[in-house]
């Protein structure tokens, strides 16, 4: 079945799906980070999709669902949202998205404050470093956990 809709419609479909299926059961932060580092994501029905996409059943990726949840409730960002850059800061449709997410995850694993962007070579601070620093500098950091 071909599904012709946008991201907001796919998120709405996913919430309707939660009501009749397994309910709200997002992936843990490490799983989500691994998917994104591989350039993929899953939908609630386990379909494999692009991070900013939706499946043939019309369900949004967990990245889109969590992004929409964050947009509705900026207070108390979840641990899951701390590993995923806000789509306004890093478009999941970029060709280099998986390379960036992989570099971010590797830097966190090594305990580094940041990584070199694989496309531009510029230094980018990790979400963990920014979170541990404890405040937003208002400079538009890619991985800012305080949005």
Q: 21-55 pLDDT, tens per residue?
A: 877 888 888 888 889 888 899 999 999 998 888 99
Q: How far apart are CA 31 and CA 8, in angstroms?
A: 24
Identify the helix (H) or strand (E) that includes residue 68. Answer: helix 62-72
Could you tell me the pLDDT band of residue 79, with boundaries at 50, 70 and 90?
low
Mean pLDDT over 101-116 rounds to: 90
Residues 118-137 as b or e (16 or more Cβ within 10 Å = b): eeeeeebbbbbbbbeeeeee
Model confidence at 73: pLDDT above 80: no
Average pLDDT, integer, range 112-130? 94
Residue where the block lists tokens 């899953």: 42
Instruction: Please tell me whether the overall predicted TM-score, pTM, comes out greater than 0.75 for this model.
Output: no
Q: Which class for 62: exposed (0-12), middle (13-18), buried (19 or more C-beta within 10 A)?
A: buried
Summary count for the chain: helices (H), strands (E): 6, 4
- When comparing pLDDT for 136 and 74, which is higher? 136
Average pLDDT, integer, range 87-101: 83
State how far the Cα of 54 lies from the Cα of 43, in Å rounded to an integer. 7
């Amino acid at each position: 079945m071909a599904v012709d809709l946008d991201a907001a419609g796919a998120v709405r479909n996913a919430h309707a799906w939660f009501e009749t299926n397994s309910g709200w059961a997002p992936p843990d932060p490490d799983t989500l980070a691994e998917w994104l580092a591989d350039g993929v994501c899953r939908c609630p029905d386990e379909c494999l999709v692009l991070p900013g996409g939706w499946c043939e059943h019309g369900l949004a990726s967990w990245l889109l669902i969590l992004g929409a949840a964050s947009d509705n409730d900026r207070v108390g960002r979840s641990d899951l949202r701390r590993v995923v850059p806000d789509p306004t800061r890093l478009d999941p449709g970029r060709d280099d998205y998986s390379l960036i997410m992989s570099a971010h995850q590797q830097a966190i694993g090594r305990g580094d404050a940041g990584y070199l962007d694989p496309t531009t070579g510029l230094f980018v601070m990790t979400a963990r470093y920014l979170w541990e620093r404890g405040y937003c500098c208002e400079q538009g950091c890619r991985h800012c956990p305080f949005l």
